[in-house]
Each structure stands twice: as C-alpha cells, then as structure tokens.
Amino acid sequence: MGPLPVSQLLLALISLTVALDNGLLKTPPMGWMAWERFRCDINCIDDPKNCISESLFRDMADRLVEDGWKELGYEYVIIDDCWMSRLRDEQGRLQPESFRFPGGIPKLARYIHDRGLKLGIYADMGNYTCMGYPGTTLDNIEIDAQTFASWGVDYLKFDGCNSNPVEQMLGYPLMSKALNATGRPMVYSCSWPVYQGGLPPNVNYTLLGDICHLWRNYDDIQDSWDSLQSIIDWFSNNQDDLQPIAGPGRWNDPDMLIIGNFGLSLDQARSQMAIWAIMASPLIMSNDLRNLDNSARAILQNKVAIGINQDPLGIQGRRLLKEKSQIEVYWRPLVGSTSALVFLSRRTDMPYRYHTSLAKLNYDAGNYRAYDVFGGSLVKGLNATTELTLSINPSGVVMWYVYQETQYKEETETLHRAKHGHHTFL
C-alpha cells in the first residue's frame, strides 16, 4: 500500500488536533509589536536605542504601563523576527542572540509579567524565518512549543516563509496541538492564509477558526497611505468571504497600526483607527512609544474607538456603500442594538459634503443620537429620515457611535464611563 494522499493525511491530522479553545481573545488583541517600525535592526553597537534587543522591549513595556496604554487594554508586547541566535542550542532549542538579549527570554518575560503585561514571540513554519534565522521545521514544532511555554510566552506569531504548502498544511495544525499540549494558554497567530492567497477555496477558514485565534490574510502593511488603502480595499472587496468567519476567539488580522510613524497624515491616522475598529481588527501598534506626538496618542487612546473595536458581540463590520463621489460607508453592529458608522473619503482634493440619512443606511424608523468619535460631540434629534450632511476631509473619516433615543439614559452613562477611563467602554 502506497503513502496516503496529502488530503487524507491532513484529515487524519485534523482529527487528532484538539480545538484551540483556551478562552483567549474573546475580543481582538491589543498591544505593541516591533516589526513595522523597527524591522530587523540588529546593530546594537551603532543604534542601541532602536535595535531588536531586550532593552527595546523593556522600554516599550514601561511606556505601556506609565503612559496609560495598559489600562486601555494594550497588554501584549510582541517580539517579531530577528531575535534569535543563528544556531539552536545543544538540546536543539531556539535561543535568543546573547549580545542583544543577555538575560534571555525568561528574564524579559518576568519583566513584562511583573508590569501586568503579556509577552509575544515570533517563529516561522519553515527552514528559515523571513529574515534568515532558524525556522521551525515539522520535527521541531513540539520542542519549540515547549520552549516558548517554559519561557513564559503568552502569544506566538507563526510565520510561513521558506515553507511549502504541504509543510504549512501539516505544520500549522501541529503547532496548535503542540501549544495545547504545553498546558500554558497561549494566543496563536497564524500567517498561513497569506501564503495561500487569503481566500477560499484555497484557505479553509473553518479549520483556521478551530486551530488559531487570529490570522494574517494579506500583505504586510507599510508606512504609507497607499499601503493602508490597498489593505482596506482587499478586505472590503472580499468581505463576503472574510466577514462571517470572524468572531470571539477567531479574528482576521489586516496587520499593525502604523499611527505615530512617518507615512500617515492626521486624517489618515484617524482613518486607520476607525476602519480597524469597524473590522474588529487586532489593535497591535508598531511605533515608537517613547517618541509619540500628542495627536497620534489621542487617536490610539480614543476610548470610544477602542470600545467599538472591543465590542463583546465580536461581529466584524462591513462596507455598505462605495459611492461614485469616492465616499465609502462602513457599518458595524454592536451590543445592545447600538452600532458604529464610518464615512471614509478616498478623495484628494478638499473636504467633501456628503448627503445621506440613517434610513438610506438601512436603519429602522425611529429617533437616534450619534456620538462623533473623533470630534467629541453629540449629534441629537436624528430621525431615521433626517437628511444629514457630513463634511469629510480628504483621506479622512467621520466616525459615529449610533444609538436610539430610547437608549439615551443608558448610553449617556456608557459614554460617560468611556470618556472617564472605565474599562467597559460601550
């Protein structure tokens, strides 16, 4: 009898895989990751403040705690590629580069845990990581999972460079099983879909939802409005496939928040925060928290935008309209029959006066109020049929949190809590 076909091997493997339901990520993860801002800077001699080192991650942990991020929910500090030694140790385990991580990962994990935060780390399902460091081949999956658990890791990003489709088909479920077997609850972020084109039928999102907490579907984000727009377009154009698969414990990941870096204007930064909130995306910042200007901080720490993102229903929002005027309308249902609306301008000329009504956006008859998330004002006396005119800046947004008049007292109290720092925002 010859070898089993790959499809049968996969089915056999899946039957052995315990679903990764460890109670984590009932809402999208929030935190900070190194990659987009600091890339693979390993030159700690000439650039000690910005190189990939334990010092950088300690600095960011300190900032998360001391500058108010942690209390808003930003809790993960995530190491990306380039942390490893070029060689595994004598027992075959991954190890950090000793000059840049002299205390080792366990010491860094304790530092982060002592501050009430959680540590994430990076590995790659392949012969080498994307930047050429030791990969996790099929025969190393179990030992790597055990190593990460022994170090106190709370989150694994598992990339897929330098691997083939068969290895990925076997390796991603195997890592889920291996993480489960450690007994340590760890978030599992899979990059599998992006290497398979991101869409069904090439990607089995039912399986992914069983074995992973979140997954990268599309290209890496770069520090530019063009990159951000391409990601928004791809997710919106494919929302019929992607929107229904997301929910508590299983999230689409359009990649990191680049707010506070170099490529976005103030309006474009608000646009990313708004769309990421609507899409129930992970809020994982990649910026320099030590040198963040007040406008970027205000966007990333906007309590109502965070509350919309963290809504416990966990329903990913959708693009409702793509107008010839280059205005797009996005909508997300929220707990308690409330909702969020985003009006996004793709224009490049001047503020655009957009005319609509809640009825045109499929709202039921009745009276409503809306809170302008970035403007900070309350819009009262809205009937569903009231003609609305919104001025939307080029490449900017207007974002509304919408509720019915009958919910006025309850929602006023909710907004008060949100604006005064209570963790249950909406």
* 83 neighbors 109 (Cβ within 8 angstroms): no
Given 41, 220, 233, 267, the catalytic residue: 220
Sign of the C-alpha dihedral, residues 34, 39, 44, 50? negative
Given 80, 144, 159, 255, the catalytic residue: 159
Tokens 């108010």 — which residue? Answer: 68
H/E/C letters for each residue in the chain? Answer: CCCCCHHHHHHHHHHHCCCCCCCCCCCCCEEEECHHHHCCCCCCCCCCCCCCCHHHHHHHHHHHHHCCCHHHCCCEEECCCCCECCCCCCCCCCCECCCCCCCHHHHHHHHHHHCCCEEEEEEECCCECCCCCECCCHHHHHHHHHHHHHHCCCEEEEECCCCCHHHHHHHHHHHHHHHHHHCCCCEEEECHHHHHCCCCCCCCHHHHHHHCCEEECCCCCCCCHHHHHHHHHHHHHCHHHHHHHCECCEEEECCCECCCCCCCCHHHHHHHHHHHHHCCCCEEECCCHHHCCHHHHHHHCCHHHHHHHCCCCCCCCEEEEECCCCEEEEEEEEHHHEEEEEEEECCCCCCEEEEECCHHHCCCCCEEEEEECCCCCEEEEEECCCCEEEEECCCCEEEEEEEEHHHHHHHHHHHHHHHCCCCCCC
Rounded to 5 degrees, what are φ and ψ at 111? Answer: -60, -45
Closest to 257 (Cα-Cα) out of 235, 275, 236: 275
CA dist 327 and 343 (Å) reads: 7
Token couple for 303: 């309590």
In the residue annotation, 46 being an active-site residue is answered as no
In the residue annotation, 159 being an active-site residue is answered as yes
Token couple for 80: 């990306």
The residues carrying an active-site annotation are 159, 220
